[in-house]
């Protein structure tokens, strides 16, 4: 590496990050950018070796082309896990890393919380409370049920660990199957259609790639067990929303929780808003108090590797998206 590294921090509020970086790594040049429009000009003027960037204002307008231009940085550190907003890049010219794992535990809590919301019939309990009605009820256990985790990355493994603790049987898919802790059975992604009929619950945690776009469509929902409960914390586009709407309308899917959507924010005209048995959250399952600092701390650790010539970790393969 060069003796003098230029780092550009691109986030909604990058100044505290810049102060932290200057205090911990005083030998680097640091500049900040807090909007999308100014990033191309700053890259041209500052010529950073490294850009730490967060998709803080959504995908539309994100200055992807400036990051991957010929005069762009040699290393782009994505502050989140998903890199679908980057498209395809040349890994021989630029290295991309992500913050995979930083929010895995929180996203797993979201998934299990949503499952419990439905199995304990929290909406029904709330309705009874509003009516001051003391109604006999039967709650449903997670123990003994089967969960299918679609995508056993950091988040998928965190979900599996919690499901295993509840006494669930855990099935999972990954591109390169191998035995994994807390997962009773690991199969290839191509085996998904054969696993779906066995699952009482489905958690979708796979990255959005050309191979996972539309992964769960009409055929997948038809293959699911009647009464399946679903949670999606992957990326909008992995689930075909029209197919989910049909499955919810028929009752084939008993309930679902969606944190990601094909279009974000979810349009007010979307039929998804109409379902009482559907949780809609604004892509927030990974956003918790301290997430931004945890992501930046991960970047600082990786920057130490960069400055010393050690290999970077969390390097993303553009053809796989993770």
**Residues taking part in catalysis:** 235, 264, 283
Long-range own/partner contacts, residues 290-295 (CB < 8 A, 24 or more apart): 291/102, 291/103, 291/106, 292/11, 292/54, 292/79, 294/99, 294/102, 294/103, 295/54, 295/79, 295/80, 295/99, 295/102
Tokens representing residue 222 in the block: 């038809």
CA distance 105 to 285: 10
| Cα 75 to chain centroid, rounded | 22
| Cα 275 to chain centroid, rounded | 23
CA distance 220 to 208: 17
Tokens representing residue 8 in the block: 């550009």
């Amino acid at each position: 590496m060069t003796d003098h590294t230029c780092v550009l921090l691109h986030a909604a509020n990058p100044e505290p990050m810049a102060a932290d970086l200057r205090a911990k790594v005083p030998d680097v040049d640091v500049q900040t950018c807090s909007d999308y429009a100014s990033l191309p000009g700053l890259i041209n003027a500052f010529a950073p070796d490294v850009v730490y960037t967060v998709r803080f204002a959504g995908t539309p307008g994100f200055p992807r082309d400036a990051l991957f231009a010929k005069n762009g940085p040699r290393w782009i550190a994505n502050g989140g896990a998903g890199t679908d907003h980057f498209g395809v890049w040349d890994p021989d010219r630029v290295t991309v890393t992500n913050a995979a794992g930083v929010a895995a535990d929180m996203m797993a809590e979201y998934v299990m919380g949503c499952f419990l919301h439905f199995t304990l019939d929290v909406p029904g309990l709330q309705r009874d409370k509003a009516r001051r009605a003391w109604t006999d009820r039967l709650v449903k256990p997670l123990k003994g049920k089967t969960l299918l985790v679609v995508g056993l990355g950091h988040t998928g493994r965190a979900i599996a660990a919690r499901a295993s603790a509840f006494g669930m049987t855990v099935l999972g898919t990954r591109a390169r199957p191998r035995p994994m802790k807390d997962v009773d059975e690991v199969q290839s992604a191509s085996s998904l259609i054969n696993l779906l009929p066995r699952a009482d619950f489905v958690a979708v945690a796979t990255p959005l790639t050309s191979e996972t776009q539309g992964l769960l469509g009409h055929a997948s929902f038809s293959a699911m067990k009647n009464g399946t409960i679903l949670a999606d914390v992957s990326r909008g586009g992995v689930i075909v929303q029209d197919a989910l709407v049909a499955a919810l309308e028929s009752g084939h899917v008993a309930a679902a929780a969606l944190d990601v959507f094909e279009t974000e924010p979810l349009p007010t005209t979307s039929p998804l808003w109409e379902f009482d048995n559907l949780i809609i959250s604004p892509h927030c399952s990974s956003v918790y108090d301290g997430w931004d600092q945890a992501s930046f701390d991960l970047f600082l650790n990786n920057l130490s590797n960069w400055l010393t010539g050690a290999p970077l970790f969390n390097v993303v393969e553009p053809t796989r998206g993770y």
